[in-house]
Structure 1
């Protein structure tokens, strides 16, 4: 294995750490699900993302990356630093903060123990898989288009003429903040400010989202065949962290598929 090299000059600007006091942390950003944590860590490894490891009271740091995730032994193997003195300081630190980005979203997790190990015949660090992880993003966050060939529907429960029914809109894109969609059946008269509860969105290979949506904006669009449809922008209301993590998993999967397609 060729030893990786990272920029170490004083002009290097590492991702800024977020030391958030415990009573100020927004738990909507924190993941506790082991499945979701492993999914994010494996994506960071696969994409060879640069990770900043902060240590010590002076916020010293080294640049590293994830080499291997050993689920059975509950440990992450990360690349060893290039500075021997800094490596020793890392090994003697009691609290270590890892900061990186995934799909423009800031990822942070803390480990309290670290040890020196060997990986592929080279020195490396070993830390435990974190029990929780912060994924910090803006509500107007990164969105991905949804497939045209196999459109994703959002089912909206309605009561019409004293009976329950489901209307549907077709997704154009999705983010952790909301959706863009089109009413191809022209069955709804969606107005800005309208709120719909218990809506369902089935994300392929991910799961079914149950959420409340609020219509933010609408406009008419004309198809190539001359048909007029209503396009809507909706935001998610009080999105649970578990549901948000499913959306992020879908976004990550779509990004990976896009990268694979571009390379082929």
Structure 2
């Protein structure tokens, strides 16, 4: 397994320090925003390339703690509290957020096991300009058509939660429908509007299943676009810019 941390070796610590946030109130606000967005968070821990994908479950300013979900691998979950520290990283609203936590413990959250740690003393909040990821509003839904499954002749439908030129995040799958990280779909359909459909290949990069939400609605799947034509790239870029402008006007 390739360790995604290798990509950060190209950026020096000095270059990153200008993005560091140290104010407690701002840290709580940023983490609270990630919680509200249900952002996918990658947790790196241990001396080797150990990592898993999860989501934040709670940010408690009073107690000074952050709670995040267990991963899918029970053996990894056993090792996490023994690690001296872990680094958490996510991309949300075309911004990278990264922070480290220590003293990780296993706790009960809504009747399910989760991890808790003290709030980080600082975090990095880095603007990503090369790929803008925007949330798809409920007033203008985008539906993704995945290949039929389980002997059905009909495509599996999911809602696009956010979109960028690089990929999409999918939610609201049918009940009992499960996806596996690493799966490649050579051809999927994106219904951008009632009259417009765009074809694209998808690679499932992250699959997060929340034990706190039932069935397919508990899945959040991060996908990378494959085999996009130039026309499709241009159309997605226009759509991203339009959604971003609409969001700014609404704000």
**Of Structure 1 and Structure 2, which has the larger fraction of its residues in helix?**
2
Give the structure with higher Rg (CA).
Answer: 1
